[in-house]
Amino acid sequence: METKDEVDLCFPQLFNSSCKKPASPHSELVLLHIVLSSISVLTVVLNLLVIISVSHFRRLHTPTNILLLSLAISDFLVGLLSMPGEILNTTCWFLGDLACTLYNYVSYVITSASVGDMVLISVDRYVAICDPMHYSSRVTEKRVKLCVCLCWLCSVFYTSLISKDDFTQLGKNKTCYGECDVSVSYTAGVTDVILTFIVPITVIVVLYMRVFVVAVSQAHAMRSHIAAVTVQVSLTLTKKSELKAARTLGVLVVVFLICFCPYYCVALAGNDSVSSSYMTFVLYLLYFNSCLNPLIYALFYPWFRKAIKLIVTLQILQPGSSEANIM
Protein backbone atom coordinates (compact mmCIF):
# COMPACT_ATOMS: atom_id res chain seq x y z
CA MET A 1 0.00 0.00 0.00
CA GLU A 2 1.05 3.60 -0.66
CA THR A 3 1.67 5.78 2.36
CA LYS A 4 0.32 9.29 2.69
CA ASP A 5 3.79 10.72 2.02
CA GLU A 6 4.08 8.76 -1.22
CA VAL A 7 0.68 9.93 -2.41
CA ASP A 8 1.72 13.56 -1.88
CA LEU A 9 4.85 13.23 -4.03
CA CYS A 10 5.08 14.08 -7.74
CA PHE A 11 7.27 11.01 -8.34
CA PRO A 12 6.58 8.48 -5.56
CA GLN A 13 9.27 6.15 -6.96
CA LEU A 14 11.87 8.87 -6.27
CA PHE A 15 11.04 9.32 -2.61
CA ASN A 16 14.23 11.19 -1.64
CA SER A 17 14.39 13.55 -4.63
CA SER A 18 10.76 14.09 -5.69
CA CYS A 19 8.88 17.36 -5.18
CA LYS A 20 5.77 17.37 -3.05
CA LYS A 21 2.41 17.99 -4.66
CA PRO A 22 0.59 21.24 -3.77
CA ALA A 23 -1.14 21.16 -0.43
CA SER A 24 -4.32 22.74 -1.88
CA PRO A 25 -7.45 20.58 -1.91
CA HIS A 26 -8.09 18.70 -5.15
CA SER A 27 -11.35 20.58 -5.78
CA GLU A 28 -9.57 23.95 -5.58
CA LEU A 29 -6.91 22.84 -8.07
CA VAL A 30 -9.57 21.55 -10.48
CA LEU A 31 -11.45 24.86 -10.26
CA LEU A 32 -8.20 26.81 -10.78
CA HIS A 33 -7.36 24.72 -13.85
CA ILE A 34 -10.83 25.22 -15.31
CA VAL A 35 -10.65 29.01 -14.84
CA LEU A 36 -7.13 29.29 -16.25
CA SER A 37 -7.92 26.98 -19.16
CA SER A 38 -10.98 29.06 -20.02
CA ILE A 39 -8.91 32.26 -19.98
CA SER A 40 -6.29 30.55 -22.15
CA VAL A 41 -8.86 29.47 -24.76
CA LEU A 42 -10.51 32.91 -24.71
CA THR A 43 -7.11 34.58 -25.18
CA VAL A 44 -6.30 32.38 -28.17
CA VAL A 45 -9.69 32.91 -29.85
CA LEU A 46 -9.87 36.68 -29.35
CA ASN A 47 -6.33 37.34 -30.52
CA LEU A 48 -6.80 35.00 -33.47
CA LEU A 49 -9.74 37.20 -34.50
CA VAL A 50 -7.47 40.27 -34.33
CA ILE A 51 -4.79 38.52 -36.40
CA ILE A 52 -7.28 37.43 -39.07
CA SER A 53 -8.93 40.87 -39.16
CA VAL A 54 -5.77 42.90 -39.68
CA SER A 55 -4.23 40.34 -42.04
CA HIS A 56 -7.31 39.83 -44.23
CA PHE A 57 -8.84 43.29 -44.73
CA ARG A 58 -6.69 45.60 -46.85
CA ARG A 59 -8.25 48.74 -45.34
CA LEU A 60 -6.69 47.71 -42.03
CA HIS A 61 -3.16 47.55 -43.41
CA THR A 62 -2.01 50.72 -41.65
CA PRO A 63 1.19 51.27 -39.64
CA THR A 64 -0.70 51.43 -36.34
CA ASN A 65 -2.64 48.25 -37.07
CA ILE A 66 0.57 46.42 -38.01
CA LEU A 67 1.82 47.17 -34.51
CA LEU A 68 -1.47 45.89 -33.08
CA LEU A 69 -1.04 42.76 -35.23
CA SER A 70 2.40 42.12 -33.74
CA LEU A 71 0.99 42.60 -30.23
CA ALA A 72 -1.88 40.24 -31.04
CA ILE A 73 0.60 37.58 -32.20
CA SER A 74 2.50 37.77 -28.92
CA ASP A 75 -0.79 37.68 -26.97
CA PHE A 76 -1.93 34.71 -29.06
CA LEU A 77 1.29 32.84 -28.17
CA VAL A 78 0.75 33.65 -24.50
CA GLY A 79 -2.65 31.95 -24.63
CA LEU A 80 -1.38 29.07 -26.73
CA LEU A 81 1.92 28.32 -24.97
CA SER A 82 2.62 30.33 -21.81
CA MET A 83 -0.73 29.89 -20.07
CA PRO A 84 -0.99 26.10 -20.66
CA GLY A 85 2.59 25.72 -19.46
CA GLU A 86 1.82 27.63 -16.29
CA ILE A 87 -1.31 25.53 -15.75
CA LEU A 88 0.84 22.39 -15.91
CA ASN A 89 3.30 23.96 -13.50
CA THR A 90 0.65 24.61 -10.82
CA THR A 91 0.90 20.96 -9.74
CA CYS A 92 3.88 18.93 -10.93
CA TRP A 93 6.02 19.29 -14.05
CA PHE A 94 6.10 15.94 -15.86
CA LEU A 95 7.50 17.08 -19.24
CA GLY A 96 11.21 16.97 -18.41
CA ASP A 97 14.03 19.47 -18.15
CA LEU A 98 14.30 20.30 -21.87
CA ALA A 99 10.59 21.14 -22.15
CA CYS A 100 10.89 23.27 -19.00
CA THR A 101 13.82 25.23 -20.43
CA LEU A 102 12.05 25.72 -23.76
CA TYR A 103 8.88 26.87 -21.98
CA ASN A 104 10.76 29.49 -19.96
CA TYR A 105 12.71 30.59 -23.05
CA VAL A 106 9.59 31.08 -25.18
CA SER A 107 7.80 32.88 -22.34
CA TYR A 108 10.69 35.35 -22.02
CA VAL A 109 10.76 35.97 -25.78
CA ILE A 110 7.00 36.63 -25.88
CA THR A 111 7.12 38.97 -22.88
CA SER A 112 10.07 40.94 -24.28
CA ALA A 113 8.35 41.24 -27.67
CA SER A 114 5.16 42.51 -26.00
CA VAL A 115 7.09 45.22 -24.17
CA GLY A 116 8.83 46.16 -27.42
CA ASP A 117 5.48 46.39 -29.23
CA MET A 118 4.19 48.77 -26.55
CA VAL A 119 7.22 51.01 -27.01
CA LEU A 120 6.65 51.06 -30.78
CA ILE A 121 2.95 51.88 -30.27
CA SER A 122 3.92 54.80 -28.02
CA VAL A 123 6.41 56.09 -30.60
CA ASP A 124 3.74 55.78 -33.32
CA ARG A 125 1.25 57.87 -31.31
CA TYR A 126 3.94 60.39 -30.37
CA VAL A 127 4.77 61.08 -34.02
CA ALA A 128 1.08 61.07 -35.05
CA ILE A 129 0.07 63.65 -32.43
CA CYS A 130 3.21 65.74 -32.00
CA ASP A 131 4.33 65.85 -35.63
CA PRO A 132 1.20 65.09 -37.72
CA MET A 133 2.46 66.91 -40.84
CA HIS A 134 5.33 64.44 -41.25
CA TYR A 135 3.62 61.31 -39.86
CA SER A 136 2.73 59.75 -43.22
CA SER A 137 6.24 60.23 -44.56
CA ARG A 138 8.10 59.10 -41.43
CA VAL A 139 5.87 56.23 -40.32
CA THR A 140 5.36 54.00 -43.36
CA GLU A 141 4.20 50.39 -43.55
CA LYS A 142 7.65 49.24 -44.68
CA ARG A 143 9.41 50.97 -41.78
CA VAL A 144 6.91 49.68 -39.23
CA LYS A 145 7.26 46.11 -40.51
CA LEU A 146 11.03 46.44 -40.26
CA CYS A 147 10.75 47.74 -36.68
CA VAL A 148 8.43 44.87 -35.74
CA CYS A 149 10.84 42.30 -37.19
CA LEU A 150 13.75 43.91 -35.32
CA CYS A 151 11.70 43.88 -32.13
CA TRP A 152 11.15 40.12 -32.35
CA LEU A 153 14.74 39.42 -33.42
CA CYS A 154 16.11 41.47 -30.51
CA SER A 155 13.80 39.61 -28.12
CA VAL A 156 15.06 36.26 -29.40
CA PHE A 157 18.70 37.37 -29.28
CA TYR A 158 18.44 38.92 -25.81
CA THR A 159 16.62 35.91 -24.36
CA SER A 160 19.19 33.58 -25.93
CA LEU A 161 21.96 35.47 -24.13
CA ILE A 162 20.37 35.25 -20.69
CA SER A 163 19.20 31.64 -21.21
CA LYS A 164 22.28 30.08 -22.83
CA ASP A 165 23.42 28.43 -19.59
CA ASP A 166 19.99 26.87 -19.09
CA PHE A 167 20.32 24.93 -22.36
CA THR A 168 23.87 23.74 -21.66
CA GLN A 169 23.04 22.71 -18.08
CA LEU A 170 19.48 21.39 -18.17
CA GLY A 171 17.74 21.31 -14.81
CA LYS A 172 20.58 23.03 -12.96
CA ASN A 173 18.17 25.22 -10.98
CA LYS A 174 15.69 22.62 -9.84
CA THR A 175 15.81 21.41 -6.25
CA CYS A 176 13.65 18.32 -6.82
CA TYR A 177 12.00 16.27 -9.58
CA GLY A 178 8.64 17.65 -10.68
CA GLU A 179 9.73 21.28 -10.53
CA CYS A 180 10.04 23.75 -13.41
CA ASP A 181 11.52 26.99 -12.21
CA VAL A 182 14.00 29.56 -13.46
CA SER A 183 16.59 30.98 -11.12
CA VAL A 184 18.91 33.87 -11.94
CA SER A 185 21.41 35.80 -9.87
CA TYR A 186 20.35 39.08 -8.27
CA THR A 187 22.65 41.07 -10.58
CA ALA A 188 21.30 39.36 -13.70
CA GLY A 189 17.74 39.81 -12.45
CA VAL A 190 18.21 43.54 -11.82
CA THR A 191 19.83 43.97 -15.24
CA ASP A 192 16.94 42.15 -16.88
CA VAL A 193 14.36 44.29 -15.07
CA ILE A 194 16.18 47.48 -16.10
CA LEU A 195 16.48 46.49 -19.77
CA THR A 196 13.08 44.87 -20.25
CA PHE A 197 10.96 47.00 -17.93
CA ILE A 198 12.35 50.20 -16.40
CA VAL A 199 13.89 51.61 -19.59
CA PRO A 200 10.93 50.69 -21.89
CA ILE A 201 8.34 51.84 -19.34
CA THR A 202 10.18 55.15 -18.88
CA VAL A 203 10.13 55.68 -22.64
CA ILE A 204 6.42 54.80 -22.81
CA VAL A 205 5.44 57.10 -19.93
CA VAL A 206 7.51 60.06 -21.18
CA LEU A 207 6.15 59.76 -24.72
CA TYR A 208 2.54 59.45 -23.58
CA MET A 209 2.88 62.38 -21.19
CA ARG A 210 4.03 64.44 -24.15
CA VAL A 211 1.17 63.06 -26.27
CA PHE A 212 -1.32 63.91 -23.51
CA VAL A 213 -0.10 67.51 -23.23
CA VAL A 214 -0.22 68.06 -27.00
CA ALA A 215 -3.60 66.30 -27.33
CA VAL A 216 -5.16 68.53 -24.67
CA SER A 217 -3.79 71.69 -26.29
CA GLN A 218 -5.05 70.57 -29.72
CA ALA A 219 -8.48 69.75 -28.30
CA HIS A 220 -8.73 73.27 -26.83
CA ALA A 221 -7.57 74.77 -30.10
CA MET A 222 -10.17 72.84 -32.11
CA ARG A 223 -12.94 73.94 -29.76
CA SER A 224 -11.84 77.58 -29.88
CA HIS A 225 -11.27 78.02 -33.60
CA ILE A 226 -13.63 76.81 -36.34
CA ALA A 227 -11.77 76.22 -39.59
CA ALA A 228 -12.98 78.36 -42.50
CA VAL A 229 -11.31 76.64 -45.41
CA THR A 230 -11.47 73.06 -46.66
CA VAL A 231 -7.81 72.39 -46.00
CA GLN A 232 -8.17 73.46 -42.38
CA VAL A 233 -11.30 71.32 -41.94
CA SER A 234 -9.51 68.30 -43.38
CA LEU A 235 -6.57 68.81 -41.05
CA THR A 236 -8.91 69.16 -38.08
CA LEU A 237 -10.69 65.90 -38.93
CA THR A 238 -7.36 64.15 -39.23
CA LYS A 239 -6.34 65.39 -35.82
CA LYS A 240 -9.64 64.24 -34.31
CA SER A 241 -9.14 60.70 -35.63
CA GLU A 242 -5.55 60.64 -34.39
CA LEU A 243 -6.64 61.93 -30.99
CA LYS A 244 -9.25 59.19 -30.75
CA ALA A 245 -6.65 56.57 -31.65
CA ALA A 246 -4.29 58.05 -29.05
CA ARG A 247 -6.97 57.75 -26.35
CA THR A 248 -7.70 54.13 -27.28
CA LEU A 249 -4.05 53.13 -27.36
CA GLY A 250 -3.54 55.11 -24.15
CA VAL A 251 -6.04 52.79 -22.45
CA LEU A 252 -4.10 49.85 -23.90
CA VAL A 253 -0.85 51.17 -22.42
CA VAL A 254 -2.39 51.89 -18.99
CA VAL A 255 -3.84 48.36 -18.77
CA PHE A 256 -0.45 47.02 -19.83
CA LEU A 257 1.28 48.93 -17.02
CA ILE A 258 -1.27 47.74 -14.44
CA CYS A 259 -0.75 44.10 -15.45
CA PHE A 260 3.03 44.17 -15.88
CA CYS A 261 4.20 46.43 -13.03
CA PRO A 262 3.43 44.04 -10.11
CA TYR A 263 5.39 41.19 -11.74
CA TYR A 264 8.48 43.28 -12.41
CA CYS A 265 8.32 44.92 -8.99
CA VAL A 266 8.43 41.46 -7.44
CA ALA A 267 11.26 40.49 -9.79
CA LEU A 268 13.19 43.60 -8.75
CA ALA A 269 12.59 43.00 -5.04
CA GLY A 270 13.49 39.32 -5.39
CA ASN A 271 11.21 36.31 -5.53
CA ASP A 272 12.22 35.28 -2.01
CA SER A 273 10.66 38.45 -0.57
CA VAL A 274 7.07 37.37 -1.39
CA SER A 275 5.00 34.24 -0.97
CA SER A 276 4.71 31.71 -3.77
CA SER A 277 0.96 32.32 -4.01
CA TYR A 278 1.49 36.07 -4.59
CA MET A 279 4.20 35.35 -7.15
CA THR A 280 1.76 33.08 -8.97
CA PHE A 281 -0.91 35.81 -8.85
CA VAL A 282 1.31 38.51 -10.41
CA LEU A 283 2.39 36.07 -13.13
CA TYR A 284 -1.23 35.25 -13.97
CA LEU A 285 -2.02 38.99 -13.97
CA LEU A 286 0.78 39.55 -16.49
CA TYR A 287 -0.60 36.80 -18.73
CA PHE A 288 -4.19 38.05 -18.29
CA ASN A 289 -3.17 41.25 -20.08
CA SER A 290 -3.07 39.22 -23.30
CA CYS A 291 -6.79 38.46 -22.90
CA LEU A 292 -7.70 42.07 -22.09
CA ASN A 293 -6.07 43.64 -25.17
CA PRO A 294 -8.55 42.31 -27.77
CA LEU A 295 -11.43 43.20 -25.42
CA ILE A 296 -10.15 46.79 -25.51
CA TYR A 297 -10.15 46.68 -29.32
CA ALA A 298 -13.74 45.39 -29.29
CA LEU A 299 -14.77 48.17 -26.89
CA PHE A 300 -13.14 51.08 -28.74
CA TYR A 301 -12.72 49.98 -32.37
CA PRO A 302 -15.91 49.65 -34.50
CA TRP A 303 -13.85 48.08 -37.28
CA PHE A 304 -12.93 45.17 -35.01
CA ARG A 305 -16.57 44.48 -34.18
CA LYS A 306 -17.47 44.56 -37.88
CA ALA A 307 -14.54 42.27 -38.69
CA ILE A 308 -15.63 39.75 -36.04
CA LYS A 309 -19.11 39.62 -37.58
CA LEU A 310 -17.69 38.98 -41.06
CA ILE A 311 -15.30 36.32 -39.74
CA VAL A 312 -17.85 34.46 -37.60
CA THR A 313 -20.40 34.43 -40.43
CA LEU A 314 -17.65 33.17 -42.82
CA GLN A 315 -18.21 36.11 -45.18
CA ILE A 316 -14.44 36.50 -45.41
CA LEU A 317 -14.43 33.36 -47.58
CA GLN A 318 -16.31 35.18 -50.33
CA PRO A 319 -14.33 36.56 -53.31
CA GLY A 320 -13.27 40.16 -52.83
CA SER A 321 -14.07 40.19 -49.11
CA SER A 322 -10.59 41.53 -48.35
CA GLU A 323 -11.58 44.80 -50.06
CA ALA A 324 -14.60 45.36 -47.80
CA ASN A 325 -14.80 48.79 -46.20
CA ILE A 326 -15.08 48.08 -42.45
CA MET A 327 -13.57 51.35 -41.20
Give φ, ψ of 313 to 5 degrees. -85, 5
Domains present along the chain, CATH in parentheses: 26-323 (1.20.1070.10)
Q: What is the pLDDT of residue 3?
A: 45
pLDDT band at 231 (very low <50, low <70, confident <90, very high): very low
Q: Does pLDDT of 224 surpass 70? A: no
Residue 293 contacts residue 117 (beta carbons within 8 Å): no
pLDDT band at 20 (very low <50, low <70, confident <90, very high): confident
Residue 51 contacts residue 232 (beta carbons within 8 Å): no
Q: What is the pLDDT of residue 239?
A: 57
pTM of the model: 0.86
Over residues 129-147, the pLDDT tens digits come to 888 888 888 999 999 999 9
Q: For 88-106, what is the mean pLDDT?
A: 85
Give the Cα separation of 206 and 210 in Å (integer): 6
Cα 164–chain centre separation = 24
